[in-house]
Structure 1
């Protein structure tokens, strides 16, 4: 498990391709590898990877399956690419963000960037089927960083996050331009709640569901709004 608090930026030092596998050698910030062991988990741009070899005091190897390369942004990495990294949380560790599994749900892309004074706003385009789990004021993990959704537009399929200077300093987000792909892990308890409510609605309403959807649409809402977790309902 990870906390979503990025601990530094690593760099791809080398890439080795083998049948069905790609190995990355990553160079880490000073002190990051202290106590790191083979078999340990590290979040690399939000993807949970296992240490397969230690190289000196600040480099380590990780093997990545082809499926993970295809489903995440790791397949596009080249030598010199930077990544957000976090060591696995220890028992009793403070959860500064929210609990993350390191299992990516989908890739999204940067649709636009705004830069109000001392802020950096990313608008992120999302595949439509995933918007049901994204709500304003809810948590989301982007490239391994726990962030709060500032705004979300379900019809246009985007959400926004606001990044402060410290977040930009500690992560790779300052280097992401329009069109850049991002790894997204949705907040798991939100997914469970939404899916449970939707299943209950489908089961109870059955053939009446299309009529309800039509009625809600006329009011600018959807069944997904009914499945919004209570903590994220407008006050």
Structure 2
């Protein structure tokens, strides 16, 4: 498990591609890898990876299987690419963000960037299959960072997060540009609530469920909002 508090930015030092497998060697920031052993877990841009070798004190190699390469942004990395990294949480660790598994659900895309004074705003598009779990003021993990959703527009398929200078300093978000892909992990508690409500409605309504969904859509809402935290509809 991880806390969603990024501990630094690593860079890709080497890539070794084999059939169905990619080995990434990462170079870590100073002080990050003290006591890091083979078999330990590290969140790399939000993907939980296992240390396979330690080529030098400031580096570690991770094997990434084909499924992970296809689902996440790790398949697009090149030497010199920057990644957010966090070591696995220890028992009793302070959860400064929210519990994160390191299992990415989908990729999002940076649709727009705004820079009001002392802030950095990312508008991110995600597939409809996962947008149903995104609510304003709720948590979401983006490239391993626990962030609060500032605004969510379900009909248009995007949400926004606001980043303070400290977040930009400790992560790779400041280098992201429009069109860049991001790893998204939805908050599990929200997913459980939304799916439970949806399953209950489907069981009770049966064939009437599509009609209810169409009616809600006409009024600017969605079925997912019935499971929103606190019962508050999203935008």
Bucket of the pairwise TM-score, normalised by the shorter protein: over 0.9
CA distance in 2, matches of 1:22, 1:13: 13
Partner of residue 5, structure 1: 5
- Does structure 1 residue 27 correspond to structure 2 residue 48? no
CA distance in 2, matches of 1:142, 1:30: 23
Residue 231 of structure 1: CA displacement? 6.9
Partner of residue 105, structure 2: 105
SS of the residue aligned with 1:23? strand
User: TM-score, normalised on structure 1?
Assistant: 0.96
Equivalent residues of 1:136, 1:232 under 8 A apart: no
Residue 205 of structure 1: CA displacement? 1.4
Count residues in correspondence: 234
Residue 232 of structure 1: CA displacement? 5.5
CA distance in 2, matches of 1:169, 1:66: 32
Partner of residue 81, structure 1: 81
- Does structure 1 residue 225 correspond to structure 2 residue 225? yes
Equivalent residues of 1:135, 1:232 under 8 A apart: no
User: TM-score, normalised on structure 2?
Assistant: 0.96
Equivalent residues of 2:225, 2:231 under 8 A apart: no
Equivalent residues of 1:137, 1:232 under 8 A apart: no
- Residues 83-125 of structure 1, C-alpha deviation per residue, up to 9 Å, x if partnerless? 0000000000000000000000000110000000000000001
Residue 19 of structure 1: CA displacement? 2.2
Residue 141 of structure 1: CA displacement? 0.3
CA distance in 2, matches of 1:156, 1:207: 26
Which consecutive unaligned segments of at least 5 residues does structure 1 have?
none
The 1:186–1:232 alpha-carbon spacing in structure 2 relative to 1, beyond 3 Å, is farther
SS of the residue aligned with 2:132? helix
- Runs of 4 or more above 6 Å deviation: none
Show the 5 A alignment for 1:49-198. 49-198=49-198
